[in-house]
Each structure stands twice: as C-alpha cells, then as structure tokens.
Structure 1
Amino acid sequence: MTTQAAFLKTLRSIVGWQYVLTGDRRTAPYVKGFREGYGPALAVVKPDNLWQQWQVLEACIKADIIVVMQAANTGLTGGSTPVPGCDRKTVVINTTRICGIQILEQQNQIVALSGASLFDLESKLAKKGRLPHSVIGSSCIGASIVGGVCNNSGGALVERGPAYTELALFAEVDAEGNLRLVNNLDIDLGSTPKQILTNLDRQNYAPQDIKSTAKVASDKDYAIWVKDVSSNQPARFNADPRRLYEASGCAGKLAVFAVRLDSFAGNQKEATFFVSSNSADALQKLRIAMLTSNNPLPVSAEYIHQNILSLADRYGRDIVYLIRFFGSGFLPFFFRIKRQIDAVINKLPFLGKAPVDKFVHYFFRLFPSPTPRFMALRNERYKHHLLITEKDMGIEKTRALLHKFCLQENISAEEISKTQAESAYLMRYACAGAAVQYGLIHDADVEHVVALDIGLRRNDDNWFETLPLEISHKLIHSLYYGHFLCHVFHQDYVVRKGEDPEQIKNQLLHLLDERGAQYPAEHNVGHHYIASPALSAHYKKIDPRNALNSGIGGTSKNLSYNDQPSNKNNG
C-alpha cells in the first residue's frame, strides 16, 4: 500500500468511507470558491463531530498535508478553497456536519460549533426574542458563524461592526509541526483534547463551568468608533490590528472548533425609510448628521446606486423569486445541488459556459420585475438610494432629521411599510450577485468581473467614485452598493472582452491607495488581495509552519514559508 493510500485509509477509519471524497467530480463543489478560487485537493473530509475533526486534523499535520478549513464555502475571495502551486498536498476539512449551536442563557451568549450557520443562529435566537452578532447577505446561502469570525466579516448592522470574539476553541501548529488544542472559551471542559471536544459537542458542562471573564465576545467599541467622522482611518477593514486576536481574523491559519459570541436584545419596534438623492454631497451631510448627533445609531443604512438596482432587477431576479417562493432557508440547499450539477455539466463543452446559470436566468426572466414599484419609480429619477432601518427611540428622531433634510437638501425620503422594506432589502441582497450573473449570461462580451470591497476613510467626503477615462472605457458597468454609515462599499466592475482584468484591478487599487482607503473591508484577503506586510506577519506568527491555508493573501505556499519548495508535489 502506498503512503497516500495508507493516509486515505486512516482518514476513512476516522469519519467513514462515504465522508472522504476523492476524485474531481466528488471534490469539485468544495475546491471551487463561491465567486472565485480553485485548487487541487487530495481529499475533502467531512467529520461528524469535533473529536473527528481533531483526529483528521492531527492525521494531516502528522503527514505534512496542508489543511484548508471550510464550512459552507460561501467566501467571496476564495479564502476557503485550496490554491494551486503548493509544495505539499492539500486536504479540505469541511465542517458543515458539525452544526451545533448552544445557548448560554445567563450570559446572553451562544457557543457555535465549527459548521454552524448564521441562518440557523438567527432562527434559534428569534424564538428567544434575541438577535445575532451579525446580519450578512451570505446568511441566506449558509454562511458559517465561525467563518465570519475568522474573516472579521462585517455586514449591515451599524452598531455592532465586524464579527469579533476573544473566546474561542482552536488548534494551532507550531514551527516544529506540533499540534496543540487551546481552550479559550472560558468554559471548563476537561484537560485532554478528547475530553474537551467531546464534552463541548455533547454540551456536557454545567452552568458553574462557564467562567466569569473579562474577555469580550463582540466589538464593544465599534458604536463609538464608527461615529468618529473626523478620523482618516476606515471604520473597519480586515487588516485592522484592533480586531486580530486568535480566532478573530485568523483567515484559516488556526483550526477553529468553536466560538463564543454575544447575542443582543430584539428590537421592540422598527421603521424603515427609503431615501433618494442625485447629490452625493447631500447624502454625505446626512451621514455626518446621523453619526454626530446624540440620536441612537440606526440598525442599518444600506446604499444602492441606480445602476446596480437596475441590473439586479434582471440579473438578480432568480434569487429574489427563489426566496419568495421557497424562503431563504432553501438557498443553501439550492446552491449545494447547483454546484454538484455544475461539476458534471461543465465537463460537457457542447453545452457552453455556465448552462445551469443561463437556464435559471432565462426561466425567471418569464416572471415580472421583482423591484417594488416605489423603488422603480425612484430609480428613474435618482442616482443614489439609502435603506435606513431605525429602532425604538431612534425612529421619531430619524423621522424629524429626514424631514429637515428634505426641506434643506436635495433629498427625497419616505417611510415604507414592513412588506415594502422586506422587498427592498431583498433587492439589496440581489445586488450582490448581479454583476457575476451578468458576466455569466453575457460571457461573449465580458472578460471578467473585478469585485472589490473597500473601507473609505471616515472623513472622506468625496465618497462616490469617479473613474478616469483610461479605466472607465474598458468597463461595461461600474456598480456600487454597501454599508453607508460605516463607509464600506462593494464595487463591482464588469470588464469588456479583450481587456486585462488584472491590470484594471491594480489600477483601481492604486486609486484607492491614493484616497487612503483600506481593502478588503470585510471579505478578507482570500486569494483575491495581497495581504499587507503587517497582516502577512500576523499570519506567520499564528501559523509559523504554514500548515493551514497556505498561500492566503499572496503569502508563501511552501512549508515554513521557505522560498525553496520541498520535493513534495501538490495534488
């Protein structure tokens, strides 16, 4: 028996034969990113519990196999997929079968195991009248809680900022290749890895085992931080050293088994306002007024540009109707099945590129426009839109503020019903995938979609981008949406056929550097961005052997970050 065969046999003895996936067809849904990223994997392993996760990890580290920790694989920068060109083979440990969520009633906190999803957390907390730490678009497609923490994912909630905790259970690999389990959950679970992981999996601990702790389980300072509109630093970005702590921001360079996070009291009352303007300056004045007043921060303030809303009407229509017909809980299943079908059909060249996407797109084109009438009418007249949701005591104050701005500035605002708000936020969600869908449908005209997520300086008044002609003429569309009060924007650029996307991306990033912006803001570096020197140093510090997620952020793909690769081949 070869060494590789013996290694695979070991993995199968841990999790069972059916949960060790090998071969291109079976591994395809796990080695290709949701939007980008692709690399070879020796195997994809799907443990059923935390102890199995540890055993698989231990076997990989012992064999000097690179480990990519993966949950729902919903990342937008390829950070949870393998990368080609490594000096060792790679195994993906997919944790979606380990989906437990434990409620800590007295602490108003939760413990999420490695594969638990934000969608399930929202559902579970809603029954108790509480809210999760984050609300992000990819919640609908199964985004994991642990993945959000590892990538400091942001989202729409103005008060809470990025996912962050100092309470986690994780494994680290030292420079000599020794694996160590670190229990910083501040819950007494035992002393050995098997005791700790089994007790947590089974929730085998008493209330007195949960320690009082000074460690935080959310970013307590963000509500103050975001209001400093004089700062020349962005409110949030992935390389922010304030939020790099063990599991938080580790980008898969630690193997995280569980995180402990705050939950929050539900809002007693909410109201949503739809604000439109043709003046970027007027909206900036509104932003400053909302952040510098003594009023409570709103729940969210989402920005949508005219062009992306128009595009989402046609190229996000499938997502809108899938959610309307089947509910958002259906989407993880839909995308999982779609990836499996894609893995087979994409090998049939006579069907062309992205046949499943094209079929779904043209099928839903038979349905009427999903854009609510009030949004469509506003979009004919205005370039810029905000969806502002307020809660409780902030509602009346925001009504008064918007009334004042409508009289004094080039702004139109109306309060919309709960049903209208749900439809409007659904369109905002559809914006996130519209550019990619456009590129797939019009592949004969589109070279690539360059997608950036950026954090602008909090004192950047010229927030709306104007591209120079030497870039804009190479693009079919420039599309903008994001989290307005946080000054975090998603900017999608649809590149014309024949143009160089990498060159255009570098030109765009250079412009952002000149503006003092930071990127990425919330999707993390993945294999899409080059990590800053400080961030690269952080990754090397927490994973000195380069055993996990090698090559992330353009870092070395070699053992111990050695410039001279070993004689082992990636596969």
Structure 2
Amino acid sequence: MDKYLQQRIVIYPDGNAGKQYTTAKTAQALLALSPAQQSLAQALRGIVGQSNVVENADETGTMVGRGRAIAVVRPGTLDEAVRVLRACVAADTAIIPQGAKTGLTGGSVPRDSGCDRPFVIINMRRLQKILPIDAGQQVLCFAGAGICSLQEALKPLNRDSHSVLGSIFLNPSVAAGIAFGSGGTQVHKGPAYTDRALYCRVTKGGDVEVINTLGLKTPSGQEIVPFLDEAEVLTGKDVDPTCRRAASWPNYPKHVTSFDGQVSRYCSDLAGEDCNRSEGKVLILATVHDTFPMPRESKFVWISCKDFATANLLKRKIFSSPDCLPKQFEYLGRSQFDCCDRGGRVLIKLIELLGMMNLSGLWNFKLKFEALPIPFVNILADKVLWYLNPIFPESLPKQLMQQGRDFDHHLIMEMTEFGGGELKRLEALLDNTLATLPEGQAKSYVCRNAFESSRVMLFRFAVQPSIRTMAVGTGHQGLIIDYAMPKNFDKILELPEDWGIEMRCLCSHFGCNVFHESLVLRKDVDAEAVKKQIKKFIERSGGKLPAEHGHGIEYAAPEDTRQRWCKIDPTNCMNPGVGQTSRLRNYA
C-alpha cells in the first residue's frame, strides 16, 4: 500500500498527491457493492430529495485524510436524518457523520484502505435551526448549526455562545464541537460539553435507537423528533423542571485555577453523556447549551515577555481566583508569530473583506479543488497563498508587529467586565505584576479600538492555516500535534534535538495549558516515525493527547475510550477506524 495512505500527520506529503488519490480510488473500486448498497443512493434521494445526494464523492480533510464515499447525503430535518441513518445501516455501509469538515485529524472523511464496507457520509450542515430557550439563558442547536451563526443569533438577546474556536471563521458545527471535545479560547466556559442531547446510536442487533436527554417536555403523545422539526420557539415552559443535567462543563473556573497535577481537558476524558467526545460513533441530532452574559466592557491587551518563566508568572497571578478570570488568555511563541505573519496575511485580509460569516464557501471550494484527481493539486492553493502573502500588508498595528519581533513570548488577554469589577481587578493584577519585573522584561500593548482587537484575534486564529501554507510554500513536511500538560507544568516541553525539526511553532490556550505544536521538518525525515516519538515523549512527560482536535485517524485512542466507543457502537458501523481502532464489522 502507498505509504501516503497510512495514518499520518504530514501536512505536505511532498509531491505524491496524485499517487495517493490513485491508490485510494483503486482500493474503493476493489470493494464490490451488494444490491442494497448499489440502490442506496436512490433510496436516499427518496428521503432527502434529488439534489441532496451526491454519489461517488472524493473527500479530503482540512489537513489530513482522503477517501471516497459511495454517497454524501444531506438531510434537511431531524426526521430525515434518522431515516437516512436507518437506510444506511440496513444497507450495511460504514457511516461518517459530518459537519463543516474543519477538523484537523481526518475524523470526518472516509478512509478507503482496510474497511470492509463502502462509506456513506451523512452531512448534517442543512440542520441549522437555533432555538433560544427562556430569553436565551440556554439554547437548543440542531447538529449543523455553526458556532459563528450561534453567536450572531444570540447577539440580540445580549448573550454569548458556549464556545469560540480558532476555526470560527469557517463556522464549524456545534455538534462537531461536542463530538470531538473542542476546547477553544474561552477560559471561563470550559470545553464544548453537554449532557442534554438528542442523538442516535446503532444497537448490536442493527436497530437505530433515538436517545433523548434534552430535558424538554413535548405535547402529550408527540415524539421529540417531529416536535423539534416543527418548533419555531422554545420557552421555559418547554423545559422539564426535574432535569438536572448539565449543559456546560460543571464548575470549570474552579477546575482550571486549581494548579494540581491533573490536566484541565483532553479528548479521552470519559465524563458525561455518550455524545461527548463520541467522534462519530453516534449521530448527534440536537444539543442544549448554556449561554453566557455578554460583557459590559472588553479590553484586549498584548503582553510580550523575554522568557517563558515571566509569561508563566503572569498566568499564575491572573489565574489566582475562579471568580475573576479573563475571557481569553492565549500564548504565541516567536516562531509561531513569524509563521502567522509569513503565511496568514491573505487569510486575515479575506476575513476582513468578506466578513467572518462568508469565508466558509471559499474554504469548501479549496477542499473540493484539492480532492481533484490531479497530481500536486493538494498543494497548489497553498503555494499560491505563500507567494501572494508578502504582497499584502502586515496584519497587526505597526507597534505590535515590532513588539512581536523584539520578544520571544507573547500573551493575548481579553479582560471583561460583567458588573462585579472584574476588569479593574484584572488590570490591577496585571499592572502590579508588571511593575515588579526588571525593566525590559515585559511590555504590554492595550488595543485602542475594536479594529485593533479584532486584528489581534484574527492573527491568533490564523495559526493552523498559516503553518500549512508555510510548510507547503517552503517545500517542507509538517506535523500538527495538540496536547494538554498538567496545570502545574510551568515550562515549555523540551523536545530532543535529533528529530529533524527545523522550526517549532508553538501556541497555547495558556489558561488551561493546552498546547498546539506545529513542527516544520526536514524533507529527509520520516515524519511518521517522528510523530510516534513525539507522542511517546509527551506522554512520558505527563501530557495527554490529543487535547481538543479529537483522535481522528491521527491518534490511537486509549483502551478505556475504545471500550466506550464499542459500547455505544457495538457493530462498528459508525466511523470505523477512528482513533486507529478496527475498521471491520464488529471490530474484527
């Protein structure tokens, strides 16, 4: 088998794109379809309509993953989604639930080699209904609703959504955040989590059962699925008063400010309802989430430090109380700063010109283009972006760009006021701590207006796309690895020097000690071997991985996670192979 079909984290497979496609296509062609599988697409069209089924679709992931599905089906109601799932199970196919396909570990696209059934993708993107509950104190989201769309829907109610991810400009789906354990930048909210959900799972006997833990009441005799399909508004009267299930991570502020030897969050955590971190082993239909008050005032500050010890000292001071936390507290290393500048200017300008809500169409076009059966097509777009990048202006204010080049460690903090004096307390903590440092040890810059604040966050959000653009542009290999270190871990993990790492781009959701490593490797290095070495090294150092991108096809799930997935998907028809588990029926 072609080595580029094996599980990997290689961003840029160095010119073998055409060979990879051909091998994947051949593997799919060798899989003979049963009569039920051959007629499945037509049966699906009878459920969702002619235009919402695409046959023989070649899918490529955002960073990794590539394969063919005999059908991509897009249900438009919850009832259609359930009926589609039942039809796919009856036809004995492998099924992948899919949202906006923004995942970084290949968990939402088919994997042809080694699977004994053809894949069908159930794309939930048409299911975008958002229903605030009780003046927006909580909100019910259908599986395809985007987190950016949710933010916009809650603004008139002066409420804030449960999650903000680095890929928010691509409007990833709410359900995917739950399925893959996404964490995001919001310190006081915790990772995407809810115990109030509506989802389907496939039983050992091949039946599809609908699990309802939403905590909602329905009119007498009406089932939850048609009730939600027809609902246009939800009020407090629709909530079951006896429901005590959590709709966000319980008491996360206290958890994240306890500097103990535990990690704050990671993808193998078994807590909560089975939909949490299920990674496609169930089909999520809808979820209920807590919302949060919008701050009365917000202030962004960029703090640059000469060394990591100073950055960590500032974190310990700022995170001294669960009652007064910054909304965001992010870290960027110098190499990551340079990478965002060298590879992210075009993306940031596009978001500025098109708006946060309008970039996902271009992104989807890029992914479709990269899936074409043409050699090198998977690197062409990033090559163009790389050569266009220097033409565009720098993305940050001039003073911040200079500060970024003068210091090696950078913190981005959003201080907010909710009516309890939080902003002034945080400002005082920061100013008092900075005053104790030697002259030149740290420097802060307070954003002067909303434009500068938005540029700072867009610069941070450009991290993942820019590393791919730079790796492709410079003709190198790259790895992306995310992991969580214990909350009391106060250093940068020192990787061995003999692994062929030419550039190490490091950023972090610093408040919860979740790190994202983007590594540029020499072309002569075996990236797969380096990946395995780094993973083992992180685990030996006390880290947990992955921390928020999900296992996908890149990470082997630990035994307790595998057992949980086997329990909720006993026939292994849902996303087989995720977490590097068996791809065969019944986990053979």
Residue 388 (1) aligns with residue 399 (2): no
**Conserved? CA contact 2:37–2:92, under 8 Å:** no
SS at match of 2:299: strand
Q: Deviations over 1:183-218 (max 9, x none)?
A: 2112234699x9432220221676433212211100
Q: Give 1:21's aligned residue.
A: 54
Q: Give 1:365's aligned residue.
A: 390
Q: Deviations over 1:250-307 (max 9, x none)?
A: 1111111100111111100111211111121111122112222476011011111111
Q: Give 1:567's aligned residue.
A: none
Distance 1:295 1:69, change over 3 A: closer
Counterpart mapping for 1:269-280 below 5 A: 269-280=297-308
Q: 2:327 aligns with which of 299, 304, 311?
A: 299
Distance 1:360 1:205, change over 3 A: closer
Q: Deviations over 1:435-455 (max 9, x none)?
A: 111122223xx1x31101111
**Conserved? CA contact 1:68–1:93, under 8 Å:** yes
Residues in 1 aligned to 2:173 and 2:41: alpha-carbon distance in whole angstroms:
27
* 1:353 shift after superposition: 5.4
Residue 58 (1) aligns with residue 80 (2): no
Q: Deviations over 1:92-126 (max 9, x none)?
A: 00111111111112561111111110010000101
Which deviates further from its counterpart, 425-434 or 284-293?
284-293
Q: Give 1:178's aligned residue.
A: 207
Residue 420 (1) aligns with residue 427 (2): no
Amino acid at match of 1:136: L
Residue 108 (1) aligns with residue 141 (2): no
Q: 1:86 aligns with which of 111, 115, 126?
A: 115
Q: 1:342 aligns with which of 370, 395, 406?
A: 370
* 1:67 shift after superposition: 1.0
Q: 1:221 aligns with which of 243, 246, 251?
A: 251
Q: Give 2:17's aligned residue.
A: none
Q: Give 2:16's aligned residue.
A: none
Residue 326 (1) aligns with residue 351 (2): no
Residues in 1 aligned to 2:174 and 2:164: alpha-carbon distance in whole angstroms:
11
* 1:330 shift after superposition: 1.5
Counterpart mapping for 1:2-401 below 5 A: 2-23=35-56, 27-28=57-58, 31-84=59-112, 85-106=114-135, 108-189=137-218, 195-203=223-231, 207=235, 208-212=237-241, 213-229=243-259, 231-242=260-271, 244-293=272-321, 296-344=324-372, 347-349=373-375, 354-392=379-417, 393-401=421-429
Q: 1:467 aligns with which of 480, 495, 509?
A: 495
Distance 1:293 1:79, change over 3 A: same
Q: Give 1:482's aligned residue.
A: 508
Residues in 1 aligned to 2:585 and 2:183: alpha-carbon distance in whole angstroms:
32
Q: Give 1:501's aligned residue.
A: 527
**Conserved? CA contact 2:557–2:579, under 8 Å:** yes
Distance 1:294 1:260, change over 3 A: closer
Counterpart mapping for 1:526-545 below 5 A: 526-545=552-571
Amino acid at match of 1:371: L
* 1:525 shift after superposition: 0.6
Residue 513 (1) aligns with residue 561 (2): no
Residues in 2 aligned to 1:88 and 1:294: alpha-carbon distance in whole angstroms:
49
Residues in 1 aligned to 2:69 and 2:498: alpha-carbon distance in whole angstroms:
40
**Conserved? CA contact 1:308–1:479, under 8 Å:** yes
Distance 1:328 1:205, change over 3 A: closer
Amino acid at match of 2:402: L
Q: Give 2:14's aligned residue.
A: none
SS at match of 1:470: coil
Residues in 2 aligned to 1:355 and 1:427: alpha-carbon distance in whole angstroms:
23
Instruction: Show structure 2 runs of 5+ residues with no match.
Output: 1-33
Residues in 2 aligned to 1:191 and 1:237: alpha-carbon distance in whole angstroms:
41
Q: 2:442 aligns with which of 408, 411, 433?
A: 411
Q: Give 1:437's aligned residue.
A: 469
* 1:354 shift after superposition: 2.2
Residues in 1 aligned to 2:233 and 2:161: alpha-carbon distance in whole angstroms:
23
Q: Percentage identity across aligned positions?
A: 29
Amino acid at match of 2:485: L
SS at match of 2:66: coil
Q: Deviations over 1:317-337 (max 9, x none)?
A: 111110111111111111122
Residue 550 (1) aligns with residue 573 (2): no
Residues in 2 aligned to 1:237 and 1:158: alpha-carbon distance in whole angstroms:
15
* 1:8 shift after superposition: 2.1
Distance 1:355 1:259, change over 3 A: same
Any runs of at least 4 consecutive aligned residues in structure 1 with deviations exceeding 6 A, and if so which?
none
Aligned CA RMSD, in angstroms, stands at 1.9
Amino acid at match of 2:464: A
Distance 1:331 1:221, change over 3 A: same
Distance 1:223 1:295, change over 3 A: closer
SS at match of 1:485: helix
Residues in 2 aligned to 1:529 and 1:423: alpha-carbon distance in whole angstroms:
33
Residues in 2 aligned to 1:261 and 1:106: alpha-carbon distance in whole angstroms:
13
Residues in 2 aligned to 1:86 and 1:65: alpha-carbon distance in whole angstroms:
10
Amino acid at match of 2:44: L
